[in-house]
Amino acid sequence: MDNAVVLMTFFLLAVAIMAFLFDLKALVDMMSIGTLLAYSLVAVCVLILRYQPDGAMERREGPGERDYLSSEEGESDLTESESHLNMLKRGSSTLQAVLHPPASPSEHSSSVVNMSVCVLVLVVCVMSYLTTYHIYNILDLEGWILASLFVCLLIFSGCVFMVCRQPQTTKKVSFMVPLLPFLPIVSVFVNIYLMVQLSGDTWIRFSVWMAVGFLIYFGYGMWHSVERQRKLQGPSNSNNQEHKKAGGEKQAAGGKDQEGFICPEKTSQC
């Protein structure tokens, strides 16, 4: 309880100092752009995760796909022509997933959704920029702005159509939302449009703080995270478990051999 009071006091003191030193509108804009970005990322993640395969680590291979052995250094033994052939097969499988989606989610259908969502986000950014900073050109019915919006609208509709055609996962998970994929797409559109409405100074401050955050994360946080330590300790723990298991089997085998030697002695004494 005392620690919570101390933390709350420190937080309120920090907020008071920042409100005294900085402009209140700048702080509100920074909070708004961060919140809107977080909401957009959540909507995109929900949209992507709902179209992932039921088995995330499973790999469905085509009937004509060729298995290959890797060398000790981890390099592939495939020739250049075979690698190009495999790339063409993957491309044809992805095109097949676009034209004729499977009944259940697969890696190819999820890749179609991922590409469609990335293109959709870029188109939404362009449309938000045009409708915000070129509104007078739209009201004057200039040809270039109307053609640009028409092309963006066609690409947007095509991305939504491709996402709708792909199968969804059948697992019941905690990030399920109704009206998929329309509700996450509308959320992304509204959030990005509101972010574009903010001033250029806010975007500059936000970019600087994001660069600092990325520098801290990729320079220190990623290399000292608990997840990385867990992955590094994973192979050693598995090797220790295998050694313990092998040792236990050897002890059990040794015990059986000793019983085999002892039993004849007992029977001879009897």
pLDDT at 77 over 50: no
Residue 123 included in any domain: yes
145 within domain boundaries: yes
CA–CA separation, 174 vs 42, rounded Å? 13
Q: Residues 150-174: pLDDT tens digits? A: 999 999 999 999 999 898 888 877 7
pLDDT exceeds 80 at position 60: no
Domain assignment present for residue 97? The answer is no
User: Looking at residues 1-19, what average pLDDT do you find?
Assistant: 75
Q: Does residue 146 lie within any of the structural domains?
A: yes
Residue 46 lies in a domain: no
47 is a domain residue:
no
Using the 8-state DSSP alphabet, how is residue 259 labeled?
Answer: H
DSSP notation for 65-126: PPP--B-TTS-B---HHHHHHHHHHHHHHHHHHHHS--SS--HHHHHHHHHHHHHHHHHHHH
- Give the model's pLDDT for residue 69: 36
Look up residue 122 and give its two tokens: 């870029």
Percent of the chain past pLDDT 70, that is, above it, reads 68
CA torsion 34-38-40-42 (nearest 10°) is 180
> Is the pLDDT at 192 greater than 70, yes or no?
yes
This prediction has a pTM of 0.66
Omega cis (within 30) before 184? no
User: What secondary structure does DSSP assign to 169-234, as a single string?
Assistant: P-S--TT--SSTTHHHHHHHHHHHHHHHTS-HHHHHHHHHHHHHHHHHIIIIITTT-HHHHHHHHH
Looking up tokens 């660069």 gives 211
- pLDDT, the chain, mean: 76
Domain count, the chain: 1
Distance CA 259, CA 255 (A): 6
Q: What is the pLDDT of residue 152?
A: 95
Q: Which two tokens stand for residue 263?
A: 């039993």
- The answer on pLDDT for 258 being more than 90 is no
**The pLDDT value given to residue 169:** 83
Q: Give residue-wise pLDDT tens across range 91-135.
A: 555 556 566 677 788 888 888 999 999 999 999 999 999 999 999
Percent over 90 (pLDDT), the chain: 30
Q: Which domain holds residue 125?
A: 109-169+178-197
Encode pLDDT of 32-49 as tens digits. 999 999 999 999 998 998
- The answer to whether residues 106 and 97 touch, using CB atoms and an 8 Å cutoff, is yes
pLDDT for position 268: 45
Evaluate the CA torsion angle 208, 209, 212, 217 in order and state its sign.
Answer: negative
Residue 205 confidence (pLDDT) above 80:
yes
Would the pLDDT of 189 be above 80? yes
